[in-house]
Structure 1
Amino acid sequence: MELKSTMSDSFLELFYKEIECGISETYSKLNLHILKIENNQFCYPELIRHLQNHFISFALSRKEKQEFLKDERYGEMFAAAASKFRDYNVNEGEAGELLLFCFLEAHLKAPKILTKLEIKLSSNDYAKGSDGIHLLKVAEKEYQLVFGESKLDQKLTTSITNAFKSIHEFISRDRNSISDEIGLLNSQLCKEVFDEDSYQFVKSIVMPKANVDNPIVKNNAFAIFAGFEVAPTIDEKKMTNSDFLKEIKTKIKKEVEAKMSHIKSKIEEYDLHGYTFYVYTFPFMKLDETRKNIIKKLIRAE
């Protein structure tokens, strides 16, 4: 009856898992996954091959995907998913949204209920609100709706700052708020489940009833994908492969660990103590070029 993740642990085999820890005096967790390195470069071609296997589940609803698969319309399914993405020349955010989807499915084991991309009518649509909503079971009869927020910037501090600013506005504004998004989600549930039992089960979590025996407890949480740039120096690039790997991993880990206090300060600044945050930090080399190239190769199947 419960929704299942569309991804296996094989996606996580692409990454060095350097940090997975709680942030003191909060209910939040910090994660650092560093993409596999060969010949002093991140293995982007291998990452893109994996993303090609999963971007359809990200861009299309379960029901849409099922309809294409039922009739073996594989080419149409790919085209429908690819058409949701903005042109790669002006696409600065959707690579982060897709990567966050993958980490939530594969690492957090929180299956997607809805993504912003799948409800777009065209690639030029712009929708305020979260990048996606996932469902996480934290205990028996206890769940979290996990709202995704992806930000990419050269500086990790800026990515984190912008993500928390967006989340604060999402919670507090009068229109296009978290309450509106839950209402939208409730209206879209029929696209994400195949049968009436599953529909009623998920709806009971999204809109739980308090006046029943042994009620379902639902809270809202947030997942942040904070992409940032790491720029190896000329001297670092000249290192042996083993020395470079050790140096760059140490450098990235040190930078991310230093941001724990910043995350904590943002939670305090916006009075977000009642929310859980799952923060995924992710380093890129040549950020601007890479995030566009990922989308280009995905939608063109290059």
Structure 2
Amino acid sequence: MDFKPSIRENFLDLFYKEIERNVPDTNSKLNLHILKIENNQFCYDELIKQLGNHMIPFALSKKEIKEFEKDQRYYELVEKAASKFRDARVNDGEAGELLLFCFLESHLKAPKILTKLEIKLSSNDYAKGSDGIHLLELAPKNYQLIFGESKLEQSLTTSISHAFKSIHDFLTRKKNNIHDEIGLINSQLCKEAFDEDLYQFLKSIIIPKASDTDPIVKNNAFAIFAGFEIDPTDQEKRLSNDKFLALIKSKIKAEVESKMNHIKNKIEEYELFSYTFYVYVFPFMKLDKTRKEIIKKITRAE
């Protein structure tokens, strides 16, 4: 069945891949990607171009994109995708949601079924629930439905803590919980599936029938995007390019590795042992300014 990620692996060429490992005693994988550094600065302009390229499949459904492309309404397609984002001045989270989408598609190779953004009726809507839902094939007839949770905080500990708290709430609250979300996916599937075969295929995975002779196995999993701030000192900024790069990479790596136990503790605290977590950690310089700048530039807002 032709249900593939919309983002190629070469998206990852923009990052140093520093950590990709299992968190001991959990079903969790920790990934650290550091944005390319030139002249002691992150290459945000290159990142913004890449995110701008991938804004459309993030913000709109496959069916909607096909409609615009069929009539060659390319300008309107970009305009429609941009209109889904909240105003950059008050937009603290959608840059993280877009980055998580890109990593899940290009790194994990888990195509999107739905994002919170695409079902918003206007840019001011606020939808509870997960930030996006992706599908990962582990083996033939064995799938994970991955629910995304993005948090951008000054401290990495806070980002991770808030993400796990949100996931725990999502699993345990009475309304807008994981069961409601699966029902929502089911009702929205016709938008993501542009033909009947794909629709039936996705439906058979999202709500599999245990009574089938060779049943599909589906489990739910979570992906976390934990953005945090690093703040090099004036002295560090004056280092030669080689020394700065080596120092910053080793500082970020040490900071992230020190959070292995924190991830493990949160899984224990909330008793989430039966879920797989894909944790993507991402450092920013000037977090508040950068996340707003990303949205402003990709949506070409004045």
Report the TM-score when normalising by structure 1. 0.99
Q: CA RMSD in A?
A: 0.8
Q: 1:114–1:134: 8 Å Cα contact kept in structure 2? A: yes
Give 1:133's aligned amino acid: I
Correspondences of 1:272-283 after superposition (within 5 Å): 272-283=272-283
Q: 1:2–1:201: 8 Å Cα contact kept in structure 2? A: no
2:227 is matched with: 227
1:160 is matched with: 160
Correspondences of 1:97-176 after superposition (within 5 Å): 97-176=97-176
1:194 is matched with: 194
Q: Deviations over 1:215-251 (max 9, x none)?
A: 0000000000000000001111000000000000000
Secondary structure in structure 2 of the residue aligned to 1:143: strand
Secondary structure in structure 2 of the residue aligned to 1:53: helix
2:255 is matched with: 255
Secondary structure in structure 1 of the residue aligned to 2:79: helix
Structure 1 residue 193, shift from structure 2 partner = 1.1
1:270 is matched with: 270
1:72 is matched with: 72
Q: Aligned partners of 1:198, 1:58: CA distance in 2, in Å?
A: 19
1:58 is matched with: 58
1:44 is matched with: 44
1:5 is matched with: 5
Percent of aligned pairs sharing the same letter: 72
1:81 is matched with: 81
Q: 1:129–1:176: 8 Å Cα contact kept in structure 2? A: yes
1:284 is matched with: 284
Structure 1 residue 294, shift from structure 2 partner = 0.1
Q: Deviations over 1:178-221 (max 9, x none)?
A: 00000000000000011111110110000000001110000000
Give 1:99's aligned amino acid: L
Give 1:231's aligned amino acid: D
Q: Aligned partners of 1:194, 1:130: CA distance in 2, in Å?
A: 23
Q: Aligned partners of 1:106, 1:241: CA distance in 2, in Å?
A: 29
- Unaligned stretches of 5+ in structure 2? none
Give 1:180's aligned amino acid: D
Secondary structure in structure 1 of the residue aligned to 2:137: strand
Q: Deviations over 1:19-75 (max 9, x none)?
A: 000000011100000000000000000000111110010000000001001111011
Q: Aligned partners of 1:2, 1:164: CA distance in 2, in Å?
A: 33
1:245 is matched with: 245
Q: Aligned partners of 2:72, 2:51: CA distance in 1, in Å?
A: 21
Q: Deviations over 1:253-274 (max 9, x none)?
A: 0000000000000000000000
Q: 1:6–1:57: 8 Å Cα contact kept in structure 2? A: yes
Structure 1 residue 301, shift from structure 2 partner = 7.3
Q: Does residue 298 of structure 1 match 2:298?
A: yes
Give 1:147's aligned amino acid: F
Secondary structure in structure 1 of the residue aligned to 2:26: coil
Structure 1 residue 3, shift from structure 2 partner = 1.1
Q: 1:61–1:191: 8 Å Cα contact kept in structure 2? A: yes
Secondary structure in structure 1 of the residue aligned to 2:69: helix
Q: Deviations over 1:148-184 (max 9, x none)?
A: 0000000000000000000000000010000000000
Q: 1:2–1:202: 8 Å Cα contact kept in structure 2? A: no
Ranges of 4+ aligned residues in structure 1 off by more than 2 Å = none
Q: Aligned partners of 1:4, 1:292: CA distance in 2, in Å?
A: 30
Secondary structure in structure 1 of the residue aligned to 2:171: helix
Q: Aligned partners of 1:125, 1:55: CA distance in 2, in Å?
A: 18
Give 2:113's aligned amino acid: I
Secondary structure in structure 2 of the residue aligned to 1:150: strand
Q: Deviations over 1:128-159 (max 9, x none)?
A: 00000000001111000000000000000000
Structure 1 residue 2, shift from structure 2 partner = 4.0
1:213 is matched with: 213
Q: Aligned partners of 2:69, 2:125: CA distance in 1, in Å?
A: 26
Q: Aligned partners of 2:2, 2:277: CA distance in 1, in Å?
A: 23
Q: Aligned partners of 1:176, 1:255: CA distance in 2, in Å?
A: 34
Q: 1:89–1:292: 8 Å Cα contact kept in structure 2? A: yes
